[in-house]
Amino acid sequence: MTDLEDALAGVDSREVTPVAALDIGSNSFHLVVARIMAGSVQILHRVKQKVRLADGLDDDGMLSKEAIERGMAALEECKESMLGFKPEKVRIVATYTLRKAINSGEFISAAKKILPYPVEVISGVEEARLIYQGVAHTNAASGNRLVVDIGGGSTEFIVGEGFDPLLMRSLSMGCVNFTQRFFADEELKEKAFQKAITAAHQELELISDKYRAMGWDVCIGTSGTIKTLANVCAELEGRSEPAKITKDNLKQLIKHCCEAGKVSKLNLSAITEDRLPVFAAGLAVLMAVFESLDITEMEYSSAALREGVLYEMEDRLMHHDIRQRTAESIATRYDVDIHQARRVLQTTSSLLQQVADDWQLQEPELQSILGWAALLHEVGLQINSRRVQHHSAYILTHADLPGFNQEQQSLLATLVACHRKKFNADDIPKFEQFQREHVYALISLLRIGVLLNIKRQDNLLPEMNAKVDDDKLHLIFADSWLENKPLIEADLGVEAGRQESLGITLSFA
């Protein structure tokens, strides 16, 4: 028998980066393990856990303990597949249910005890953008394409061309929450379908005109609901591969459901047992989507949110961070004084590099957000120079910021809100991803960077050293520079008093 031990000894191995993406959805949790090699993403392993997290969300936005426990059980199942991954090689994104849950922090805190990676709650628009990236990287199509993703709690709509999303929206309708509203008794009646379809039409009124006006050349559906419907259409046509979905298919399926009368009597082998309880609601939502947007046919794509997360991780690992483009777009839109922004960035970055080890600010994520805060702290000037910090924070809180999850966007807005004048440390929110002492340190550095550049002049500042001793920050200016700048020295004196609320003792010479 041939000895195979050295059979591949002469083959050079390429550099491989293992990555993992976990999608904490309202219906299911999806884990994808992959490797990035030679600029491509190769899927190695998938784990799917049916959780129905949205079932535990009540009318007041409280997520039940039972739902949280189901979520933790699912994370335990995913844990083994994620062992040994470095933090920068893992992204966990949470969607509709944790966006809406007022006690999402309880879920995230419990998740930390199971997985040593941050849970990122992303906005509906950010979810839509990532879904589109997953489709765009795995489906070749020319011209505009409409992508529709029906999840457990929300449905995302994206029109894009190539890799660029052009129009994105997320609506609060999904197969789990519509099941609760219209099919909770498992009865499949025409009246229930009509009510569900009408409710979906009401949601779609917000976007239908704009989407139809933009138009598209191909329509693509993603995720479990549309996959199931495509498989059912194939079953009805006697095919093995997912078929294109048409309006006639959907009408036929609604008729079939009403004739069955109950969920348990649906005799369609293409509907898996775990998908069966939410099938009718997903069907009703998609019927309304077809009618409102005048869709003639839809094809299915297996790629969705988690694939989009993986491809974005590839970009970030290759140093192409979408958030840089977002920051540049915001700066352009609000006519930011670029020269002043760069002065503040340069000063703040210099201070950060000097204190990063002592204050444990080495994490690239912290350094990036501080940098973007320095660049964008004056976006509110376009509204008014008075209370500019509040105007800037408002814009950064409410703008769509592609690439930023909710906590990153909130931290960015918080830093900017505190960049000048008086502030109340008690108003600084609690973060799950970021430690409070790190947030305070970033606020301290940004405030000093802004203060020292108040004259808005190049080459004004001398060489400056920053030294840290626990909670004490000492600034040393070269050539006795501060002695000839009485106003800046006085401003630093006032600032020292304000930084006490951060637990930081500021001194200077």
Concatenating the DSSP letter of every residue in 261-291 gives: -BGGG---TTS-TTTGGGHHHHHHHHHHHHH
Domains of the chain: 16-123 (3.30.420.40), 139-302 (3.30.420.150), 321-508 (1.10.3210.10)
The whole-angstrom distance between residue 346's C-alpha and the CA centroid of its chain comes to 28
Q: Counting Cβ atoms within 10 Å, is residue 87 exposed (0-12), middle (13-18) or buried (19+)?
A: exposed
Question: Predicted confidence band at 4 (pLDDT cuts at 50, 70, 90)?
Answer: low
Interatomic CA distance for residues 208 and 279, integer angstroms: 24
Return the pLDDT at 38. Answer: 67
Interatomic CA distance for residues 449 and 373, integer angstroms: 11
CA-wise closest residue to 389 among 329, 446, 460:
446
Buried b (16+ CB within 10 A) or exposed e, 106-120: ebbeebeebbebbbb
Q: How many of the other CB atoms lie within 10 Å of CB of 314? A: 18
Interatomic CA distance for residues 71 and 306, integer angstroms: 17
Q: Supply the DSSP symbol for 82.
A: G
pLDDT by residue (tens digit) across 152-209?
999 999 999 999 999 999 999 999 999 999 999 999 999 999 999 999 999 999 999 9
CA-wise closest residue to 382 among 417, 345, 330, 418:
330
Give the list of residues 6+ apart from residue 411 with CB closer than 8 angstroms, or none.
Answer: 369, 431, 433, 434, 439, 442
Q: What is the mean pLDDT of the segment spanning 273-300?
A: 96
Q: What is the mean pLDDT of the segment spanning 295-307?
A: 93
pTM of the complete model:
0.86
Is the pLDDT at 251 greater than 80, yes or no?
Answer: yes
The answer to whether 146 and 218 have CB atoms below 8 angstroms apart is yes
pLDDT by residue (tens digit) across 26-39?
999 999 999 987 66
Q: Around 416, how many Cα atoms within 13 Å sit in the side-chain half-sphere?
A: 30
Q: What is the mean pLDDT of the segment spanning 392-417?
A: 95
Interatomic CA distance for residues 435 and 305, integer angstroms: 28
Return the pLDDT at 5. Answer: 65
The answer to whether 146 and 220 have CB atoms below 8 angstroms apart is yes
Query: Following DSSP, what letter does each residue of 424-446 receive, concatenated?
Result: -GGGSPP-SSS-HHHHHHHHHHH
The whole-angstrom distance between residue 234's C-alpha and the CA centroid of its chain comes to 34
Q: Counting Cβ atoms within 10 Å, is residue 292 exposed (0-12), middle (13-18) or buried (19+)?
A: buried
The answer to whether 45 and 32 have CB atoms below 8 angstroms apart is yes
Among 14-23, 257-266, 315-324, 478-487, which stretch is predicted with the lowest mean pLDDT? 315-324
CA-wise closest residue to 268 among 223, 230, 224:
230
At 472, the amino acid letter reads: K
Is the pLDDT at 295 greater than 90, yes or no?
Answer: yes
Among 108-112, 212-216, 308-312, which stretch is predicted with the lowest mean pLDDT? 308-312
Return the pLDDT at 51. Answer: 96
Is the pLDDT at 468 greater than 80, yes or no?
Answer: yes
Q: Supply the DSSP symbol for 63.
A: B
SS3 of residue 235 by DSSP: helix
Helix (H) or strand (E) holding 221: strand 218-222
Q: What is the mean pLDDT of the segment spanning 467-487?
A: 93
Q: Which two tokens stand for residue 293?
A: 């947007």
